[in-house]
Amino acid sequence: MGGVFELKSRHEAGPGELRVNGPSAPGPARFTAWDAAVLGLRRLLRGADDATGGPRRAARRGAVWARRWRSHGWTLREWLRRPGAGHFWIATEDAVDWARRTCEAEDLDFARDAVRGRLPILAARTEPSGPCWAWRRDLYSGYEWPLVPSHRLRIQRDDGSDIRTVWELSRCYYFLALARAYWATGDSTYRETFVRHVESWIADNPVGLGPHWASPMDVAIRSANWVLATVLLGPAVEIPDGFWARLLGNLYASGLFLERHPEWHPVYRGNHYVADGLGLVYLGVLFRGDPAGERWLRRGARILAREICHQVHDDGVSFEAALGYHRLVTEFFAYGGELLRLNVPGAAGAEYEARVRSMYRFIRQYLPDSGEAPMLGDADDGRLHAVSARGLLEPRRHALGLPERFWPESVEEGAIAFPQGGYYVLRKERDHAIIRCGAVGLNGAGSHDHADQLAFELVLGGRRVVADSGTYAYTRDLAARFAFRSSAAHGVVQVGSEEQNPIRVDRPWRVLADRTRARCVLCTQTATELRFEGVHYGYAHRPSRAVCRRAITVDIADGEWQVVDTIDGVGRESITWRLHLAPTLVEWRCTGPGTYEFLLPGSPAVRIALQVPAAMEPRVEESFMSDRYGVRVARPCITAAGELALPVSVIVTFLAGR
């Protein structure tokens, strides 16, 4: 028995020892009746503000501010350098030199795409639409989101549309590339494109109406990028003051909007609320000296300082438990921290910077030598800025685009535990594994969790061998979202047809309970081996009382990796064991009763040996992974299934050619 499984590339779009025992993280916070009452009151007040014309008042106040600004006779360059002005991480007096010095080929390509009206957005691409974008047109379905009060919009439509494409375009990451390209080349087309797009956006998206005001987080990110563009293009004397007055008036209105619509929750607030605070900081620094600007800066600083302790564990891992979102909030806290250091240095303090550094340490440890991040948990490829255009266009390169001063000097080898965050890294030279084992994220809500407890990604000799599912879609395709989150999409043991934790398609942003209660039993390193052991109880409610255990051992001398899965319990159960590989050719054969060998040709070649009970006959099937939001790629999955008496063990070993 045996054969060759060939993937048809189908694209749709040291010394010492460390021991960690006990639970990986505290239990989830409780959502009390008092919390519900407070949250309900806040929502009622927001609704009342919207219903009584709050957004229109914000727009009028922005227009009044703009008229006053013009009456002073400022040029933007003078205003940015006024006494008492705020300080940005790009110094206003150095903005032009910074733009020229940091402009790379990817920035020029990104800027040219914007000029041509052909920007890549979440596996889609914009199409030229007159002098500017159709700002509210969904790039997947072509649906035009209406100009109705933003709080009345139905975000999830079940028709193939995805509001993420609309929001992503409107975040205006490319403004940074336009500014760099303009100062690097002197081509006025880039400057004119920026002016035209801002004017078009303001005309097409009145404050409080349509999709671009439905998510305060996106208001905040858009504002931060407009603020940076203002700093970088302010020295361009060809841009008229009337344009700057309109842009600043819109940003002032955006600050008032963010101030009145924070995405706060007493228990389950996450990256959206951090973004809101960050947006207030950027706007507060820009409008420093104005009473509203000072208020925004103080409030944003409080949010960032408080939330870094609430949302980031002591070990440096975001409490949302998804690597893509850890990267995003690291960017929020890092750039926000730089603004606080320059403008209100006492607002953050040493603890803030120490926690940002610990977030960087986690990224440094979970990145293999390739620099391409594993895909555990959700990822929507979101960013704050395109400081690195390449990092934006290749979203798994998590190190690109972050402030550099927080990086640790070197990467650690051995067994590295992040017990509160629920991640463990085994690292030996160019071999690297990351294992998910911990509490459900977001205080138990699990908004960005997958059914991936004890799942791992494995890189051998620099080659990605075992790969997680990634995230293909959100509201565009809820069935696909559920499939990519499911146990079947991950390299874990599944008992019966149940999920590790209950998930329902009709609740795409929740895990209904942390049934797994996953914990690390051991994470250790000696002179001869690295070892991880973990356990979860996601199936212990069944009559069999099944408990899943996984042990991963690395032999330091010969480089062999061994994974032992044990399902303890009583009686019989239907067991499915899966190993999802990165896209590759698989040659395989039966080498004896219950033993199989799989060869992955390439550089380096990898041999996989599998031992399963006789009743479990392996197959090589096709599954899907998503390296980028909106794109899915076929890859092989080694599967073994059968009905067996518990306990059951499956052993798989990996050895890369040297």
Give pLDDT tens digits for 305-364: 999 999 999 999 999 999 999 999 999 999 999 999 999 998 888 899 999 999 999 999
How are strands ordered across the β-sheet holding 561-568? 2-6, 585-592, 595-600, 606-611, 648-656, 561-568, 547-555, 529-536, 519-525
Q: Name residue 456's amino acid.
A: F
Cα 51 from Cα 151, distance rounded (Å): 10
The backbone torsions φ and ψ at residue 416, rounded to the nearest 5 degrees and listed phi first, read -115, 125
Query: What's the whole-number average pLDDT of the chain?
Result: 92
Cα 226 from Cα 230, distance rounded (Å): 6
Tokens of 32: 């009390």
Cα 101 from Cα 109, distance rounded (Å): 16
pLDDT at 25: 40
Cα 395 from Cα 122, distance rounded (Å): 10
Tokens of 15: 């010394």
DSSP alpha helix (H) spans, 287-343: 291-311, 323-343
Instruction: Find the Cα–Cα–Cα–Cα dihedral 331, 244, 300, 266, rounded to 10°.
Output: -90
Which residues lie below 8 Å from residue 603, measured CB to CB, with a gap of 6+? 461, 463
Tell me the C-alpha to C-alpha distance, in Å, between residue 447 and each of 269, 378, 441, 494. 11, 9, 7, 21
Mean pLDDT of 528-550: 98
Cβ-based neighbour number of residue 128 at 10 Å:
11
Tell me the C-alpha to C-alpha distance, in Å, between residue 353 and each of 31, 391, 595. 30, 23, 52
Q: What is the pLDDT of residues 378-424, one digit of tens each?
A: 999 999 999 999 999 999 999 999 999 999 999 999 999 999 999 99
Q: What is the pLDDT of residues 451-484, one digit of tens each?
A: 999 999 999 999 999 999 999 999 999 999 999 9
Which residues lie below 8 Å from residue 496, measured CB to CB, with a gap of 6+? 539, 542, 573, 574
pLDDT at 52: 73
Q: Name residue 79's amino acid.
A: W
Q: Comparing 144-158, 361-375, 425-439, 477-491, which segment has the lowest mean pLDDT? A: 144-158
Cα 639 from Cα 241, distance rounded (Å): 65
Mean pLDDT of 618-638: 96
Cα 531 from Cα 540, distance rounded (Å): 25
pLDDT at 24: 37
pLDDT at residue 6 is higher than 50: no
pLDDT at 474: 93
Q: Name residue 130's amino acid.
A: G
pLDDT at 2: 53
Cα 213 from Cα 106, distance rounded (Å): 30
Produce one character per residue of 446-465: b if its CB has 16 or more CB atoms within 10 Å, e if not: bbbbbbbbbbbbbbbbebbb
Predicted TM-score (pTM) of this structure: 0.94
pLDDT at 449: 96
Hey, is 104 helix, strand or coil?
Answer: coil
